Amino acid sequence: MPFTSYVALGDSFTEGVGDPDPARPNGVRGWADRVAEVLASQSPDFRYANLAIRGRLYRNILEEQVPRALDLEPDLVSLSAGGNDLIRPKVDIDLMVEEIGRAVNAFRAIGASVALFTHGDGGKSGVFGAIRGRVAIYNELLRDFIAADPEGIVLVDNWRLKDGHDLRVWDADRLHLNPIGHQGIAINMLDALGVDHDLQPIPIPEGPVKTKQQQRAEDLAWARTHLAPWVKRRLTGRSSGDDISPKYPTLTPLHHPAGDVG
């Protein structure tokens, strides 16, 4: 049976930051919109809500977004949380996975299928490289939760996507995926769900090999332009999502063509 209603929950990853589209709410598209477009092409009654807001911590997602999603009674939910928590000085990863698990069980209790995501492997790069161990622990605990009772859960395993080490799939801020990366996540989620689709990876553009001096200059420019403002927001208790509302707060029919990779 095709899915007829889908609710996406999370932070900037799910909102679609890094995949700009001025014609859409919040000016971004993202992998969840791309998935929804394919599902809409297969069900004339399909409706989609995206409650994700950039900068949200996992508990914000559970307290603000999960109750609203339960009220919508979708047959498919995607839940990605914890990325913003893992980059903070202190986080109880065991408790985080436990509380996310309770939310998953609430969705399964109303008959919804739930897509969960491991966080990607940042290798040795930037902010994500520094928290690689934490991310690995979170991912293993999430796998353990799913393995104990897999009914109704689909895992989209971003940790094993080694293209994530390539800066060419990331936005200029190196914190969010660009359209290439978002298209890849959409394909992986549809494949994990077993949904037929014709989405194709966006080719990664070739570029000149950079010297160490050129790469160092780019890294310094990135630190000034993107890293410093991010650190300032953390120190002042502000979030990039403070003035942002959900893209699609209620279940809404889609009017965007599926498969468009522009």
Distance between alpha carbon 109 and the CA centroid of its chain, in Å?
24
The pLDDT confidence band at residue 262, using thresholds 50, 70 and 90, is very low
- pLDDT of residue 252 exceeding 90: yes
* Count: domains in the chain: 1
Nearest partner of 6 among 68, 49, 67, 64, judged by Cα: 49
Mean pLDDT over residues 66-77, rounded? 98
The pTM (predicted TM-score) of the whole model is: 0.87
Average pLDDT, the chain: 87
* Residue 262 within a domain: no
* Residue 259 within a domain: no
Q: Which residue has the higher pLDDT, 213 or 30?
A: 30
| pLDDT of amino acid 105 | 98
* Residue 258 within a domain: no
pLDDT tens digits for range 145-185? 999 999 999 999 988 776 666 778 877 776 788 999 999 99
* Residue 101 within a domain: yes
Query: For residues 242 and 236, what is the distance between their CA atoms, to the nearest angstrom?
Result: 13
* Residue 261 within a domain: no
- Report the first-to-last Cα separation within the chain, whole angstroms: 29
Query: For residues 205 and 225, what is the distance between their CA atoms, to the nearest angstrom?
Result: 23
* Residue 257 within a domain: no
- pLDDT of residue 95 exceeding 60: yes
CATH number for the domain spanning 195: value is 3.40.50.1110
* Residue 260 within a domain: no
| pLDDT of amino acid 164 | 60
Q: Which residue has the higher pLDDT, 127 or 121?
A: 121
Nearest partner of 8 among 45, 49, 41, 47, judged by Cα: 49
Q: Could you tell me the residue range of the domain that residue 75 belongs to?
A: 5-203+212-252
* Residue 57 within a domain: yes
| pLDDT of amino acid 258 | 47
Mean pLDDT over residues 63-78, rounded? 98
| pLDDT of amino acid 161 | 73
- pLDDT of residue 102 exceeding 70: yes
State the SS3 of the chain.
CCCCEEEEECCHHHHCCCCECCCCHHHECCHHHHHHHHHHHHCCCCEEEECCCCCCCHHHHHHHHHHHHHHHCCCEEEECCCHHHHCCCCCCHHHHHHHHHHHHHHHHHCCCEEEEEECCCCCCCHHHHHCHHHHHHHHHHHHHHHHHCCCCEEEEEHHHCHHHHCHHHECCCCCCECHHHHHHHHHHHHHHHCCCCCCCCCCCCCCCCCCHHHHHHHHHHHHHHHHHHHHHHHHHCCCCCCCCCCCEEEEECCCCCCCCCC
Residues in the chain: 262
- pLDDT of residue 224 exceeding 70: no
Listed ranges 22-31, 79-88, 226-235; the one with the highest mean pLDDT = 22-31
pLDDT tens digits for range 185-207? 999 999 999 999 999 999 988 76
